[in-house]
Structure 1
Amino acid sequence: MYIHGDSIYLAVTFLSSSTAVLAAVQPDGQCGGMNFDDETLCAEGWTCTKYHDSYSHTSTSRTRNVYESPSYAKPKGFAAAVEKWVAAGVPIDGVGSQSQSTGNSTIADFPAVLKLGCADVSIEEYAITELDIKGASSSDYTTAVDACLDQDNCVGLRCGA
């Protein structure tokens, strides 16, 4: 969290870890974390991966980056959490998120994910604080920058090294 004058900025980092937990749910769903009290039965072929203490997500070897599509649980959960906090009166002026993708990932869904974060969340400023795309072409980064420029409240995109 960053406080500047009367503004509070919330930075969210999506971290990954290979630490397994015992609970799980259907494909691409949340399966654990602090205060999680939903379904914990694993769908066949799926395992629950702990990303941090607050969040665990089901995955297989074919879905390593579970926040790069707007249909996945992470971007939906992120947007829902910020909306809930704003509705509860938490003064959030802006948020930032990081995204690391592999060469096997597609950048095609990035505009929809960014729109979910920008348009569906009641915040004034949204920033991609770090974007790393392993093995990316210049057109991949152009797609990401254009997606930010298309959103009125996307205030910046920083490419990692």
Structure 2
Amino acid sequence: MRGTRGKRIGTAVSATAGALAACGLAFAPTAAAVTPGTATITADCGSYGGGEATLTATQNGTAATFTLSTSAMTAPVALGQDSIVSTLTLVKAGGGTSVFSGTKNPAMAVGDPLSVGPLSGTVASGDSLEAYGGSLKMTVFGFITITCTATGPQSPGPFVFD
């Protein structure tokens, strides 16, 4: 009897240790990170205006998102939540581009600061992305297209992904 009881306790302890180890892995933070987390650009949006804007980046493995916000441009009309189709194209340091897109935006009243995102895309470890040379294209109401381009390099520098 003692051998069986000891075996059951040993099995229970092993199972508990395995479950705790699995929980530890499930709650372990992801190693992926992008630096810097935010950058500032100055954008020209043609007849729609322009000015300083903030790009915020996040990374989870190969998935990345960008959010753009600016008080230099405001909503000319009331805009519903998730009503702007946006495509952000960033330039890769080694050549080529990366595209982040989506229809995410908060609801905005007339005169509210413009905000779009998170816009989703994929990145590879070591990617270095810059807004200068790329563009942000926003389509409102399905027929009004606004294209913004950075007028110089972003500050403090390009987004570098783990």
Task: Determine if the TM-score, normalized by the shorter chain, exceeds 0.5.
Answer: no
What's the TM-score, normalizing by structure 2?
0.25
What's the TM-score, normalizing by structure 1?
0.25
- The one of the two structures with greater contact order (alpha-carbon pairs below 8 A, sep at least 6) is 2
Greater C-alpha radius of gyration: 2
Structure with the largest fraction of helix? 1
